[in-house]
């Protein structure tokens, strides 16, 4: 009879494939421990990966939270190897992930001050139900709704559905802003990269006359990025982010809110011209793209002289993006 500690013949055979004779739980698994420490370093210091070759740094940062999935995979291997060294090393990437992203899991903070509820949504130029999309966004009850990929043929549907609760709106090119409060000074913002030759208008600036004072609201849709055989193709997006960052830096109104499909996460260094100037939400993951299996939040709410509360996704519409909502509170 075989004891429970010894296991059966099958157990011994499986263990033999993972455990080298003559080693101890402290000497086994050094490679696993090294991988765990490298994972922790990448989580804590993604800037160590340069962008010079294929913009690999930005690619890592775009999916940085998912790097945490390395931990359970290594844990399984460490248990099979019966390696105490590897298991202890795994505490380091766990701590790094918790430091970077643990706060996003916490509940929303109550700022104790009045603010604006906002919704940001790329409605998709392939959306077959713009009226239904408009109703779904209005049902969330925000004061501001920012939309991207607006097509001329769909504008009447959005205007008709949103008119009662959002009597003020501005549209420039394919981006628009609907507001419960009066707007003024609406104009296009030039964020077109030099490589784009055709007509291209994806930036809007408007001043919202909210009860607490004027707020300059920017709506933007930065160029798409692609993962190719040569790396992360984000140069046009990065250039557009730089143009938008300079426009916001020159904005004379003190309080600024940016709503948009930025085709990048707040960890992506390509958005540094924006994240270095604007506050972002520190509560909520709100992964917004793609709708079928959201991998990243590329739909953003940012603010200057204001805080962005917990960001969350709303139910799916006819778009390939999920809407995101947050409360913006002037400071």
**pLDDT by residue (tens digit) across 160-178?**
999 999 999 999 999 999 9
CB 193 within 8 A of CB 225: no
Instruction: Give me the pLDDT at residue 21, please.
Output: 61
What does each C-alpha distance from 180 to 49, 56, 138, 144, 171 come to in angstroms? 44, 42, 11, 7, 15
Is residue 96 helix, strand or coil?
helix
Confidence of residue 307 (pLDDT cuts 50, 70, 90): very high
| Residue whose C-alpha is closest to residue 281's, from 327, 321, 237, 314 | 327
Instruction: Give me the pLDDT at residue 23, please.
Output: 65
Tens-place pLDDT, residues 249-261 = 999 999 999 999 9
Tens-place pLDDT, residues 23-74 = 676 778 999 999 999 999 999 999 999 999 899 999 999 999 999 999 999 9
For residues 302 and 219, what is the distance between their CA atoms, to the nearest angstrom?
11
Confidence of residue 2 (pLDDT cuts 50, 70, 90): very low
For residues 26 and 69, what is the distance between their CA atoms, to the nearest angstrom?
24
Tens-place pLDDT, residues 257-294 = 999 999 999 999 999 999 999 999 999 999 999 999 99
For residues 296 and 286, what is the distance between their CA atoms, to the nearest angstrom?
8
Confidence of residue 147 (pLDDT cuts 50, 70, 90): very high
Scored b (16 or more CB within 10 A) or e, 155-167 reads: eebbeebbeeebe
What does each C-alpha distance from 197 to 192, 219, 228, 234 come to in angstroms? 9, 22, 22, 17
Instruction: Give me the pLDDT at residue 3, please.
Output: 45
CB 15 within 8 A of CB 71: no
For residues 311 and 164, what is the distance between their CA atoms, to the nearest angstrom?
26
**What strand order describes the sheet that includes 183-188?**
183-188, 203-210, 213-221, 256-261, 299-304
For residues 328 and 36, what is the distance between their CA atoms, to the nearest angstrom?
38
Residue 308 burial (CB < 10 Å; 0-12/13-18/19+)?
A: buried
CB 128 within 8 A of CB 318: yes
Instruction: Give me the pLDDT at residue 6, please.
Output: 44
HSE-CB of 83 using CA atoms within 13 angstroms: 25
Confidence of residue 179 (pLDDT cuts 50, 70, 90): very high
Is residue 108 helix, strand or coil?
coil
Query: Which CATH number applies to 116-330?
Result: 3.60.10.10
For residues 257 and 39, what is the distance between their CA atoms, to the nearest angstrom?
35
**Given the structure tokens 């077959």, which residue do they identify?**
128
Distance from CA of residue 239 to its chain's centroid?
A: 19
CB 243 within 8 A of CB 191: yes
197-200 own/partner pairs: CB under 8 Å, 24+ apart: 200/173
Confidence of residue 18 (pLDDT cuts 50, 70, 90): low
The boundaries of every CATH 3.60.10.10 domain in the chain are: 116-330
Claim: this prediction has a pTM higher than 0.95: no
For residues 132 and 323, what is the distance between their CA atoms, to the nearest angstrom?
13
What does each C-alpha distance from 31 to 20, 34, 38 come to in angstroms? 14, 5, 11
Across the range 307-322, mean pLDDT stands at 97
**What is the chain's mean pLDDT, rounded?**
93
């Amino acid at each position: 009879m075989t004891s429970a500690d010894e296991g059966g013949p099958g157990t011994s055979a499986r263990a033999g494939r993972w455990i080298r004779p003559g080693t101890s739980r402290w000497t086994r698994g050094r490679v696993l421990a090294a991988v765990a420490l490298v994972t922790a370093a990448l989580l804590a210091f993604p800037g160590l990966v340069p962008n010079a070759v294929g913009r690999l740094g930005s690619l890592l940062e775009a999916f940085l939270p998912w790097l945490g999935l390395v931990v359970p995979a290594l844990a399984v291997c460490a248990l099979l190897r019966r390696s105490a060294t590897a298991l202890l090393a795994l505490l380091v990437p766990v701590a790094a992930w918790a430091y970077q992203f643990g706060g996003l899991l916490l509940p929303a903070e109550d700022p104790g001050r009045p603010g604006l509820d906002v919704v940001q949504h790329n409605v998709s130029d392939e959306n077959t139900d713009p009226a239904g999309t408009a109703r779904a966004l209005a049902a969330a009850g925000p004061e501001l709704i920012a939309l991207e990929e607006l097509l001329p043929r769909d504008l009447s549907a959005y205007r008709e559905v949103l008119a009662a609760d959002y009597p003020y709106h501005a549209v420039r090119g394919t981006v628009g802003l609907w507001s419960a409060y009066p707007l003024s000074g609406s104009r296009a913002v030039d964020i077109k990269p030099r490589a784009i030759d055709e007509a291209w208008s994806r930036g809007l600036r408007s001043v919202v006359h909210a009860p607490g004072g004027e707020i300059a609201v920017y709506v933007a849709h930065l160029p798409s990025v692609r993962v190719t055989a040569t790396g992360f193709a984000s140069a046009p997006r990065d250039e557009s982010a730089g143009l938008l960052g300079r426009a916001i830096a020159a904005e004379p109104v003190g309080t600024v809110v940016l709503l948009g499909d930025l085709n990048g996460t707040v960890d992506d260094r390509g958005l540094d011209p924006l994240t270095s100037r604007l506050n972002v939400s520190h509560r909520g993951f709100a992964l917004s793209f793609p709708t079928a299996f959201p991998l990243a939040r590329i739909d953003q709410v940012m603010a200057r002289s204001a805080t962005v509360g917990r960001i969350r996704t709303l139910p799916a519409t006819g778009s390939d993006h999920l809407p995101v909502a947050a409360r913006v509170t002037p400071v």
